[in-house]
Structure 1
């Protein structure tokens, strides 16, 4: 695919081939730059997934020319301004862009017979509940139905960081689910019933600066969890809640592993933004616990995380990331690593940019 112009000669065609315009950082992204300007500026960005194509340009003339040439080359349908893409619902306005999965959530609720009568559930997890792999005495659940529910919930996490941890936890039990595990998954559905219209709002007037939060939850033999949330402008753009692959001996070690994962994500995002003409000149700030902002661990018991420690040192000294202290009351990444009480969960959800569309367009 050519991202903009179709040359006449074979020599020019080679220069404008898809491979020369494809971004190495993301194989689905193609860009066209104006190299006549000092430093270059982005003219056109095209994202391709199977037979779906979305694009944005520096001017209406650029996007119109691209669209016309594509339609002349391929059998395509122009759907106009983007409203849906890969299950996401997009609403674009003068003030910003709203991304949600409200229709998908409604279909999932209908499929599992969950109605608004369960909308009183205000958090996706019970703070006091511990889910165990071994038999908890509640009886075996329908494994096939449980896996279907977990898959459906996992799809919702693409726009819902507020349920990422809850879904990650129940997904650990897809092999031999119990009724307790099924109940935990149904609780997430009950929470969705009352928040199905939530999506992420990206404001046009926000400062477009990449920043992140990182957190961990150390649980000894059960395995620790790493989590991060990155925002660009007014809303979260990427988040993660995963079990750590290395056993850690303390909360500090778990924090370093989480920070290394977050730093790697920051570098990937910085490259993506650079490809889209949003180069981050300053170091990306990552807010974390107090201990990790000091000198990294050096004692002999940390050989198993030396690679992660070296990565953090390299990225900090290179000016790519900056680790800053953040107290627990402001640590947004806790929403993807810890079960939070209602007040804190609601606060963090809003600060991640999650809201209803109506609340932004009044």
Structure 2
């Protein structure tokens, strides 16, 4: 649903004055100003005022704001559950009772001027296709527009985002137009919402945003050539299965040849569905591989706590320990054994938050062989065959595949 002139509905809490607009007749009088009682487009207070207004209407209708995401509102009652997701003036409304959905639309229409856009098919550049298997998400139109923008619609497709023998450094001529590189990488970052296959590659090129060279631009163009050949790929959210949370965590110890920092990678499954993933360079240099893995699992734990809170807001409880898969037994021993470790005394206190969650039985570490580690796709460059095998396990599929 779309709210028309959303920012004009906000009520101002501060005293805001503006010059008298042209044509009023008194704009030339010395010292005359207009005091605003309602928000206008262009005010820095307008977005917050609109959010406060919409929140008050939803809360008055029995909704509760999510603790995990302030743009998510949930109402649970005897007749079913309603969920509202807000992005500025666009609302996604879903639930298990159509009468309740229609009643909410009528309530909103009494306060705002709204337009019903029908079933959700396209939202913020993300396309949604419903099928008997579930919900398929991809960004095909976004990719096609991006390729057209950079003049690569006829480029030769690449089989993988990165060459298997790639070593990133500062070689190459500095780019004369840094902003062009930054815009391209920024758009690639947005594509990682539905494309876990390019997450690691985009993470690498984003580390050179302030000093890109011709070599880095070549790598960005290879990612675009890979997208050219996989434009219809996306993520399938299956509509069957369970709600068990599972997390896979890994790190590439000292994998960065420039500063020898490690890369954290993790992904989260709810049942068979991949819901979150991440690839990010760690902020400090790890002295040994177990430390790098320990830091990665600490970051993973924060993601799990947030996701558990979000599921709780949606009425899905997680009463059993969450399985956290790791391929480093030394890290698992550090987390399980509370005794003082000489080699880990320099690790920051916030990283030991992970150990506390293991000891409180919120998490359960599970050893996974390196050959079965799914997160390798987020921490290192893989050969084509292994790359495709992991993508299949993630549920990454083609929109042209039969449902």
Fold match (TM-score > 0.5): yes
Instruction: Check whether the contact 2:63–2:75 (CA below 8 A) recurs between aligned residues.
Output: no
Distance 2:62 2:80 in 1: 18
Q: Which of 291, 294, 304 is matched with 2:333 structurally? A: 294
- 1:224 corresponds in structure 2 to 262
Deviations 1:160-187 (A, max 9, x none): 1111110011011111211111111111
Q: Which of 222, 230, 233 is matched with 1:187 structurally? A: 222
Q: Which of 320, 329, 347 is matched with 1:282 structurally? A: 320
Measured after TM superposition, the shift of residue 282 of structure 1 is 1.4
Distance 1:24 1:165 in 2: 30
Deviates further, 105-114 or 219-228: 219-228
- What is the total number of aligned residue pairs between the two structures? 340
Q: Which of 31, 39, 46 is matched with 2:74 structurally? A: 31
Instruction: Check whether the contact 2:249–2:375 (CA below 8 A) recurs between aligned residues.
Output: yes
Given the alignment of the two structures, is residue 174 of structure 1 paired with residue 212 of structure 2, yes or no? no
Distance 2:210 2:216 in 1: 11
Distance 1:159 1:97 in 2: 12
Measured after TM superposition, the shift of residue 357 of structure 1 is 2.1
Report the structure number with the largest CA radius of gyration: 2
Instruction: Check whether the contact 2:126–2:138 (CA below 8 A) recurs between aligned residues.
Output: yes
Q: For the aligned residues, what is the CA RMSD?
A: 2.1
Structure having the higher helix fraction is 1
- 2:374 corresponds in structure 1 to 332
Q: Which of 160, 169, 173 is matched with 1:139 structurally? A: 173
Distance 1:286 1:308 in 2: 18
Where in structure 2 are there 5+ consecutive unaligned residues? 1-55
Distance 1:15 1:149 in 2: 38
Q: If the length of structure 2 is used for normalisation, what is the TM-score?
A: 0.80
Q: Which of 149, 155, 160 is matched with 1:123 structurally? A: 160
Instruction: Please show how residues 1-362 of structure 1 align to structure 2 within 5 Å.
Output: 16-17=59-60, 21-34=64-77, 43-119=81-157, 121-133=158-170, 136=171, 138-141=172-175, 142-219=177-254, 221-291=259-329, 292-296=331-335, 298-361=340-403
Distance 1:345 1:69 in 2: 49
Instruction: Check whether the contact 2:266–2:278 (CA below 8 A) recurs between aligned residues.
Output: yes
Instruction: Check whether the contact 2:67–2:310 (CA below 8 A) recurs between aligned residues.
Output: no
Structure 1 residues 294 and 173, CA gap change in structure 2 (3 angstroms): same
Deviates further, 343-352 or 301-310: 301-310
Where in structure 1 are there 5+ consecutive unaligned residues? 1-12
Distance 2:106 2:285 in 1: 55
Structure 1 residues 64 and 240, CA gap change in structure 2 (3 angstroms): same
- 1:10 corresponds in structure 2 to none
Instruction: Check whether the contact 2:73–2:83 (CA below 8 A) recurs between aligned residues.
Output: yes
SS at match of 2:275: strand
Distance 1:14 1:203 in 2: 33
- 2:17 corresponds in structure 1 to none
- 1:4 corresponds in structure 2 to none
Measured after TM superposition, the shift of residue 265 of structure 1 is 0.5
Q: If the length of structure 1 is used for normalisation, what is the TM-score?
A: 0.88
Measured after TM superposition, the shift of residue 324 of structure 1 is 0.7
Distance 1:15 1:55 in 2: 12
- 1:7 corresponds in structure 2 to none
Structure 1 residues 74 and 352, CA gap change in structure 2 (3 angstroms): same
